[in-house]
Amino acid sequence: MKLTDIFWPFRSDMDYIERELDRAIDTKEPVLQKTSSHLLKAGGKRIRPVFVLLGGKFGNYDIERLKHVAVSLELIHMASLVHDDVIDDAELRRGKMTVKSKWDNRIAMYTGDYIFARALMIATELSNPQIHKILSRAIVDLCTGEIEQIRDLHNWNQSLRNYLRRIKRKTALLIAISCQLGALAADATPDVVHRLYVYGYNVGMAFQITDDILDFIGDEKKLGKPAGSDLRQGNITLPALYMYHVSPDARCFRELVKENRVDEMIRVIRESEGIQVARRLAERYLTRAAQALTPLPDNKSKDALLKIARFIGERQF
Amino acid sequence: MKLTDIFWPFRSDMDYIERELDRAIDTKEPVLQKTSSHLLKAGGKRIRPVFVLLGGKFGNYDIERLKHVAVSLELIHMASLVHDDVIDDAELRRGKMTVKSKWDNRIAMYTGDYIFARALMIATELSNPQIHKILSRAIVDLCTGEIEQIRDLHNWNQSLRNYLRRIKRKTALLIAISCQLGALAADATPDVVHRLYVYGYNVGMAFQITDDILDFIGDEKKLGKPAGSDLRQGNITLPALYMYHVSPDARCFRELVKENRVDEMIRVIRESEGIQVARRLAERYLTRAAQALTPLPDNKSKDALLKIARFIGERQF
């Protein structure tokens, strides 16, 4: 199963969102126009808009209202990627040159700022102040998560709770509010809005944990980066934390850490129980995601949300 | 006359805003807490909050409503300074170490993002969506102005219009909306809200033009930087543009530009008519600022706004 198969019933609305994304970044300033459309054309799965539309199906689905939320969330995601690339000094993303490498760091920073602000401006087309509040809060959390990630780099003494809080802020919250705001903008009942938030949060956690697993064991060609890239950059994720703190072989592993033998650490983690532990945790989140939807009416959208959860559990890259 | 004298009647409310600024950046994340309060303690004139309060005096003045706007605008200004320091690679601002020098560029970027988002989040305490729209639009314009400034660096062929549009986005708009949003949050009439916007826009333009003049002729000690810093960085401002395009001595000046003799360019500009031309333009903006207020009722706030306009015309650093 591919994600595009799951989205198939919603493809015409997704095409419409794509055109709206184009319009959203339209500006007379030629540099910003170029950097923003470069970013947009670099692609991405547009998973946040998909969640918005799926959430909207549980209320009065109106694409003219939902589009503002969908575009806003995708732009927030895009802006955070541009700033990440500055920080990571990344030359490529999804096989395309990053804004910071094609232009420079200064341009990349202001392009990110511009897109963040654009995102919030577009959301103000909807007059519900609760939506504005949730969106600006999401950016606050996103930035806090990024700072936490920098702070926790190379820190082996961080707890599992630290890790979970970080991936919540970095990834899960934005997916949670995509589902939530879709339902909210469609005037779904508070219970439905809440359930979609819970679904999104759990799917987001599972998504990031899976991402962190695949960084160790995924196909290097498909991932487009060497195995263990996170660890090489000092980003200590669940499988590594397990090896260091919990595994029966922790003592040996700590020796490797002490001597900074990264290649060996990666080899050990790839074959360790840490991977299985992380998989089981991801599955637990996915189960909770599905449970949150149980009381909701059966419809195509619920079906798609459940399929997405299964897809995340099974994905290989 | 000093600015603090003008603000004297509003000092207790300004103290309150200062405490609210402290609260606004409060976070459990220790790095963000340190960077943000470092920024706050580095000071600043808090001119945007002052304008908000003064604007609010033309409606139903309620500090509990106005504080959200005042804090939000000061934070937007602060965030833009943090990002500017990353771009300019600045070690000091107002004599204090910048976030990028005390911590690093990554921390400075996310601190800026965090404060931008905090600013918008605080504004959502007010349920008037028009306020959210104006604020997010202001950040869009601010970023566009920053990109324009980068684009126009070292470009001697830019027009006066280019320069004016750039300083409008970079400086004048944020001051304009400070006045406007103060009145708007106090439910002043649309005419009053508009007049305050026009006042703020013109004061902001005069402020930036004066800044650009002082960069050439101000007291180096008081400014805390050598004369002609803007030009040295490639930022071509009104006095320089006049010399290049309009002055009877333009031909000689262009030779200096061609040979990149920056010290001589600065010396020529300091003694040129370009300074007078810029002064006259600033004065025209200040006259228009005062005119915008003429039909408004006489009160302490109007008095202060007129004094601020005069202060800007006379300031030496």
ipTM (interface predicted TM): 0.84
A65-123 pLDDT per residue, tens: 999 999 999 999 999 988 887 777 667 776 777 777 777 778 888 889 999 999 999 99
Residues B136, A124: C-beta atoms closer than 8 Å: yes
β-strand A96-97 against B92-93: which pairing, if any?
unpaired
Domain count within chain A: 1
A120-172 pLDDT per residue, tens: 999 999 988 899 999 999 989 998 888 888 889 999 999 999 999 999 999 99
Reduce the DSSP state of residue B157 to 3 states and report it. Answer: coil
DSSP string of B163-211, one letter each residue: HHHHHIIIIIHHHHHHHHHHHHHTT--HHHHHHHHHHHHHHHHHHHHHH
What ranges make up the beta strands (E) of chain B?
92-93, 96-97
Residues A109, B83: C-beta atoms closer than 8 Å: yes
**Cβ-nearest to B124 among A110, A112, A133:** A133
Mention every residue, 6+ apart, whose C-beta is less than 8 A from residue B227.
Answer: B215, B216, B217, B218, B220, B266, B270
Write the DSSP symbol of residue A298: P
Residue B316: the pLDDT is 63
Tokens of B306: 């007129």
Of residues A181 and B34, more confidence is placed in A181
User: Tens of pLDDT along chain B (317 residues)?
Assistant: 677 788 888 889 999 999 999 999 888 888 888 888 888 887 788 999 999 999 999 999 999 999 999 999 999 999 998 888 777 766 777 677 777 777 777 888 888 999 999 999 999 999 888 999 999 999 899 988 888 888 899 999 999 999 999 999 999 999 999 999 999 999 999 999 999 999 999 999 999 999 999 999 987 777 677 788 899 989 999 999 999 999 999 999 999 999 999 999 999 999 999 999 999 999 999 999 999 999 999 999 999 999 999 988 887 65
Q: How far apart are CA B59 and CA A128, in angstroms?
A: 25
Mention every residue, 6+ apart, whose C-beta is less than 8 A from residue A64.
Answer: none
Residues A121, B140: C-beta atoms closer than 8 Å: yes
Which of B65, B84, B124 is the best substitution to test chain A (most A C-beta atoms within 10 A)? B124
Of residues A110, A157, A163, A117, the one with CA closest to residue A136 = A117
Tokens of A295: 């009381």
> Residue B23: which domain range?
3-314
Residue A316: the pLDDT is 63
Query: A90 vs chain B: nearest CA distance in angstroms?
Result: 13
Query: B124 vs chain A: nearest CA distance in angstroms?
Result: 6
- Per DSSP, helices labelled H in chain A are 3-7, 11-24, 30-41, 47-56, 63-88, 99-102, 105-123, 129-152, 160-167, 173-185, 190-217, 220-223, 229-232, 238-245, 250-258, 262-270, 273-293, 300-314
Tokens of A117: 């602000």
* Residues A44/A76, Cβ–Cβ less than 8 Å: no
Q: Spell out which residues of chain A touch residue B114, defining contact as CB-CB under 8 Å.
A: 140, 143-144, 147
Of residues B47, B5, B57, B10, the one with CA closest to residue B296 = B57
Express as a percent the part of chain A with pLDDT over 70: 96
Residue A94: the pLDDT is 67
Q: Chain A contact for B23, CB < 8 A?
A: no
Residues A147, B121: C-beta atoms closer than 8 Å: no
Number of residues that this document lists for chain B: 317
Mention every residue, 6+ apart, whose C-beta is less than 8 A from residue B5.
Answer: none
* Residues B267/B253, Cβ–Cβ less than 8 Å: no
The alpha carbon dihedral of B169, A22, A72, A214 has a sign of negative
Residue A181 identity (one-letter amino acid): L
Q: What is the CATH number for B19?
A: 1.10.600.10
